[in-house]
Structure 1
Amino acid sequence: MQQEKDKVIFANQLRAIAIIAVMVIHLCGIYWVARDTVSAYIFAPAIEGPSSRLLGWLSPPTVNYGPFGVAIFFLISGFVIPFSLAKSSPVEFLISRFLRIYPTYLTGTAVMLLCIWLSSHYWGKEFAMTVEVLLANLSLVHSNILIKTIDLVNWTLAIEIKFYLISAILYSAIRKANPLPIVFLAVATLCFTDWYPVAHSIINFTYFNLSIESIKVELMVVCFMFIGTFFYFHFSEKITTIELISYSSILLLLILMCWTRNSWADQIPSTPQNYIYGLCVFVAAYTLRKYFRPFAPLDFIAKISYPLYITHSLIGYSIIRIAMDKNIPYFAALLIAVSIIIAISYALHITIETKSIDFGKNLIRKLRNKNPQNQLELNQANSNT
């Protein structure tokens, strides 16, 4: 068991690398190159003056840390989620995932909203947030009903939720390490993307408009996440290396075909190129997984990576913008912002994230005790897989 845990250290430390990459692009890049967007989200005047050269120093040509880091996050989810499915029923899995995502997200979002409210107060601007926009974002359905994000990062959480739902539907196939239903999902996604008419991409309901184009994109990304699941199949010795390469290549090809046919097509080649960079890093780390060892700085960042992801963007922008208004140089303002964000994230981790995960475990344990037959069936299924 310890040997298996050591081999999965690579995934945990990749999570730290991914969040660092995302923070670099947001706080060192987007802050400068998307000034109007940043100012609109934090209710502040747009920053003036020359941009920092920090991102240019850090970025090799063609590398965009945003999609690169997000791709790694998605692959890690695809890899680790089957571990949860292996010891849960579909309902138990969805309960644990709900409690894993929403309590920390809701609390982190509340802290973020407080921060940008303080920013609006500091700059003398009206804090405008409608109930409709807030509820759509808090429930993570905003991207599907044509409502803008309130934090610039929660679109990925909306995709995570779809991945959990589809994983629960494919529960049997994932437990049996059967790649074919996942490949069929990708084929169906390509057919749906290619054949469903763009002219009917918005379906009007009484209280909201449903965006079919957003569903096409999210299904494509879910298929990308399942590449990580294929690596889990290989890790658990259910498929061979040749099968891993073959199925992953087929899935990647189908995903790239989808990409040319959906609303993300205008991001070609930069975004899919960086998703492939992220995949290459994931493959390299997986191949060298036995050499990974605990490393306190990365392990700490990995531990708080979820609340850090939720809070870093708008809180970071607000702190940097106000600090620079107080004549604090950008690099010092950046250091202050990162320190505060890490402190907030650690506080969320120990007060909300770990508590909600423990609550989920206890809840599932109580449900099993009330119906021991379900636990018996789960144990029998585990012995057969």
Structure 2
Amino acid sequence: MTATTAPGAGPVSLAPSPAAPAGPGPRPARTAHPPRLRALDGLRLLAALMVAAYHYGGRTGEIGQAWGTSPREQFPTASSFFAYGCLGVQIFFVISGFVICMSGWGRPLRAFFASRVSRLFPAYWAAIILVTAVFALPWVAYEAVSPSDALVNLTMLQQPLGVDRVLGVCWTLWAELRFYALFALFVVLPGANRRRVVLFCAVWTLGAAVAEAANLPLLDVVLMPEYASYFIGGIGLYLLHRYGHDAVAWGIVAISFLIGQHYAIAGLWHPAHVDAFSYRSSTGIIAVVAFGYVAVALIALGKLHWANWRWLTVAGALTYPFYLVHEHLGWVVVGVLHRKLGLPSYATLLLTVALMLALAWLLYRFVEQRLTPVLKRSLSAVRMP
């Protein structure tokens, strides 16, 4: 596959860029093969490292057990900045909206389904097995889920089924799956075009607002009012990339940002309090969300073509497996390096990230590169009803 999602992503290629028209209106897309979007690969890795910083030093919980004390004591100054790293997820969702729109454009439903399943599941299955096995070791202090729950986790449907999660980050994949289903049903199946995509964004935005007002659990599950705006914003940014500056596309992006920053603050802001682990200011939250939108916008409009270094392709390939394994296995590594071997906090942090990236490379090289093409070919050969 030439496109990727966030966080479950692969190599990113530019969709056809528009050629300048002689008059007003949307610009037609070029058919020439464009260069890779390596800057988007780099942004994805940056978002993953933000999430890792949050998990290792910006929150409490099991990571405090790994350090032996609160991360705030390990990183007295940096922990307040690490606390904003959780917003890397919102950046992931914006990237996902961009890339799923790109990868689904002009692609039949069967090919879209095969590309998504083959891209998400091989590394995910490996991560589930690996974390379950490590947590089952007698010297590891963290409790493993039951064998039955671990098997359900292989479906990626553990959250709606109320099953204990093997991977803490898998809640974001449940949001991604729902986005893929909506996009496949209302855009890919009938055939993507500008009018249909704009209508999809408008209806989903209004539907998410209605779901919030109605307070009906089913609507919340399907329309995801808390996360919909980020995916929609990414779709709007792809329209700008494909067709150029356009008031409707900019309107989609602007409205999605205004709604998205609201939900980010609603979910992550709290009054400064002595008993709270960290304090995120509303201004800081808005700034990080805005950074994600601006960064993807610059990439969409071709302002970061100069960031075309080959190593960014590798960075993009490592992002998804790193995202999957870094949290839970990071607890084990931090405990060994810091409490057992006595490494300083920052040395432990950097070495843990490096080891998780090395593990991500192994998963990419020996799991994804081998299983993804096989699974994709198998699914592509299946007849859709």
Please name the residue that 1:337 is paired with. Answer: 352
Change (3 A) 1:57 1:180: same
Q: Partners in 1 of 2:310 and 2:219 — Cα distance?
A: 42
Please name the residue that 2:371 is paired with. Answer: 356
Change (3 A) 1:75 1:332: same
Please name the residue that 2:5 is paired with. Answer: none
Q: Partners in 2 of 1:319 and 1:242 — Cα distance?
A: 49
Please name the residue that 1:116 is paired with. Answer: 135
Q: Partners in 2 of 1:191 and 1:219 — Cα distance?
A: 9
Q: Kindly provide the CA deviation profile for residues 314-370 of structure 1, in whole angstroms up to 9, marking residues without a partner as x.
A: 111111112222223223333332232122111110122122331244335645xx8
Please name the residue that 1:244 is paired with. Answer: 249
Q: How does 1:1-385 map to 2 (within 5 A)?
A: 5-6=34-35, 8-30=37-59, 34=60, 36-38=61-63, 47-48=68-69, 51-53=73-75, 56=78, 59=81, 64-67=84-87, 69-118=88-137, 121-122=138-139, 125=141, 127-172=143-188, 175-178=192-195, 179-197=198-216, 201=217, 212=218, 215=221, 218-237=224-243, 240-255=245-260, 259=263, 265-268=266-269, 269=282, 274-287=288-301, 289-326=303-340, 327-363=342-378, 366=381
Change (3 A) 1:25 1:17: same
CA contact (8 A) 1:75 1:224 kept: yes
Change (3 A) 1:299 1:57: farther
CA contact (8 A) 1:25 1:64 kept: yes
Q: Report which stretch shifted further, 239-248 or 88-97.
A: 239-248
Change (3 A) 1:217 1:170: closer
Q: Number of residues paired by the alignment? A: 338
Give the SS at the match of 1:291.
coil
Q: 1:3: Cα distance to partner?
A: 8.0
In structure 2, give the amino acid aligned to 1:100: R
Q: Kindly provide the CA deviation profile for residues 241-278 of structure 1, in whole angstroms up to 9, marking residues without a partner as x.
A: 32221122233445567x49xxx945344766643442
Give the SS at the match of 1:38.
helix
Q: Report which stretch shifted further, 108-117 or 186-195.
A: 108-117
Q: 1:181: Cα distance to partner?
A: 2.2
Change (3 A) 1:185 1:71: same
TM-score by structure 2 length?
A: 0.75
Change (3 A) 1:360 1:85: farther
Q: Partners in 2 of 1:190 and 1:277 — Cα distance?
A: 24
Q: Kindly provide the CA deviation profile for residues 53-89 of structure 1, in whole angstroms up to 9, marking residues without a partner as x.
A: 27628839xx71211x112211111111123212421
Unaligned runs of 5+ in 2: 1-15, 17-30, 270-281
Please name the residue that 2:276 is paired with. Answer: none
In structure 1, give the amino acid aligned to 2:75: R
CA contact (8 A) 1:104 1:307 kept: yes
Q: Partners in 1 of 2:311 and 2:76 — Cα distance?
A: 22
Q: Partners in 2 of 1:17 and 1:151 — Cα distance?
A: 20
CA contact (8 A) 1:100 1:356 kept: no
Change (3 A) 1:16 1:348: same
- Using the aligned pairs only, state the percent identity: 18
Q: Partners in 1 of 2:93 and 2:142 — Cα distance?
A: 36
Q: Partners in 2 of 1:157 and 1:137 — Cα distance?
A: 12
Q: 1:213: Cα distance to partner?
A: 8.2
Q: Kindly provide the CA deviation profile for residues 7-26 of structure 1, in whole angstroms up to 9, marking residues without a partner as x.
A: 62222221121112112222
Give the SS at the match of 1:142.
coil
Q: Partners in 1 of 2:191 and 2:84 — Cα distance?
A: 32
CA contact (8 A) 1:104 1:348 kept: yes
Q: Partners in 2 of 1:55 and 1:150 — Cα distance?
A: 31
Q: 1:164: Cα distance to partner?
A: 0.9
Change (3 A) 1:214 1:136: farther
In structure 1, give the amino acid aligned to 2:139: Y
Q: Partners in 2 of 1:336 and 1:131 — Cα distance?
A: 31
Give the SS at the match of 1:151.
coil
CA contact (8 A) 2:208 2:223 kept: no
CA contact (8 A) 1:78 1:226 kept: yes
CA contact (8 A) 1:316 1:337 kept: yes
CA contact (8 A) 1:13 1:298 kept: yes
Unaligned runs of 5+ in 1: 202-211, 375-385
CA RMSD of superposed structures (Å): 3.4
Larger helix percent: 1
Q: Report which stretch shifted further, 293-302 or 70-79.
A: 293-302
Give the SS at the match of 1:144.
coil
Q: Partners in 1 of 2:80 and 2:301 — Cα distance?
A: 26
Q: Kindly provide the CA deviation profile for residues 119-154 of structure 1, in whole angstroms up to 9, marking residues without a partner as x.
A: xx225x584422454344332333334445332211
Q: Report which stretch shifted further, 140-149 or 304-313.
A: 140-149
